[in-house]
């Protein structure tokens, strides 16, 4: 069952994990995948047909992260995972974003509440 999830993009949203699927990969609708997602407490999203903008935020994030991660050599998967965790933390808490009036994601969310 887990092999069906290997191509999904995983987003960290606050402390919740969100699985995002491209529309042409419809495995999210397979009963065993739905059961697995529910058992693990995972939410999911899927792009709407013909709307490339649905993926834009994730593509942007992935592109920035790959630029950072690809420039380094890692001695183990654990070291790489720590670096990805550090990058996500900095992205959400320290990196200001032009589209958010030069505020961090955390600051923007705090202002909305």
Kindly indicate the confidence band of residue 25, based on its pLDDT and cuts at 50, 70 and 90: low
The shares of helix, strand and coil residues in the chain, as percent rounded to the nearest 5, are 55, 15, 30
What pTM was computed for the model?
0.52
> Residue 63: is its pLDDT beyond 60?
yes
What secondary structure letter does DSSP report for 26?
G
What's the confidence (pLDDT) of residue 34? 76
How far apart, in whole angstroms, are the C-alpha atoms of residue 29 and residue 19? 13
How far apart, in whole angstroms, are the C-alpha atoms of residue 14 and residue 86? 15
Kindly indicate the confidence band of residue 20, based on its pLDDT and cuts at 50, 70 and 90: low
Kindly indicate the confidence band of residue 11, based on its pLDDT and cuts at 50, 70 and 90: very low
> Residue 86: is its pLDDT beyond 60?
yes
How far apart, in whole angstroms, are the C-alpha atoms of residue 109 and residue 52? 25
Kindly indicate the confidence band of residue 7, based on its pLDDT and cuts at 50, 70 and 90: very low
Total Cβ atoms within 10 A of residue 53:
9
How far apart, in whole angstroms, are the C-alpha atoms of residue 74 and residue 101? 34
């Amino acid at each position: 069952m887990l092999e069906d999830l290997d191509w999904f993009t995983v987003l960290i949203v606050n402390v919740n994990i969100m699985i995002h699927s491209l529309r042409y990969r419809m495995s999210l609708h397979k009963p065993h995948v739905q059961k697995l997602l529910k058992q693990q407490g995972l939410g999911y999203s899927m792009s709407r047909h013909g709307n490339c903008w649905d993926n834009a935020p994730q593509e942007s994030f992935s592109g920035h992260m790959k630029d950072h991660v690809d420039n380094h050599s890692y001695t183990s998967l654990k070291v790489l995972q720590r670096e990805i965790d550090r990058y996500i933390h900095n992205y959400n808490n320290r990196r200001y974003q032009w589209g958010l009036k030069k505020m961090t994601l955390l600051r923007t969310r705090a202002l909305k509440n």
